[in-house]
Amino acid sequence: MIRDARMSDVKVMYALLQHFANKGLLLGRSLSSLYDQLRDFKVFVADGAEGEVLGICALHVCWENLAEIRSLAVAEEHQGKGIGRRLVEACLAEADHFGINRVFTLTYQPEFFKRLSFRPIDKNELPHKVWSDCINCPKFPDCNEEALVWEKG
């Protein structure tokens, strides 16, 4: 089941993101940023609303008609079951609800997003506003994440 993240989920979300950040598969987030951006997050939970958090994903609104899919992570033992796909689809549906027709992601897993109708774009096509988080990244300015975009038909 997918639901909005809750305060009680933050420490589990943090641990999940740190696990993959330590492997160099995504950028970690501080506990503070997770609390600040809690409303951006969806979680996939097992066995109903109070179940274990198995995956997370955020939709971060950047600009008038632009949002970002970020912090997608699924517990390793639950990968390959469609959880990541369902989380991204839930975020895209939310973007549609808000009238946002363009959603991008910066990722080390471009093939996953290509299967969800995202296409590669040059990072320079993104507005400078989206780089505000990048300035604090240890990999900036030598980022090797790939930029992809989804645009509503």
Q: What is the pTM of this model?
A: 0.89
pLDDT for the residue 137: 57
pLDDT for the residue 116: 96
pLDDT for the residue 143: 64
pLDDT for the residue 49: 57
Question: What is the Cα–Cα distance from 59 to 13, expressed in whole angstroms?
Answer: 15
Instruction: Pick out the chain residues at pLDDT < 70.
Output: 48-49, 127-143
The domains found in the chain, sorted by start residue, are: 2-151 (3.40.630.30)
Q: 15: closest CA among 55, 68, 60?
A: 55
pLDDT for the residue 51: 79
pLDDT for the residue 112: 95
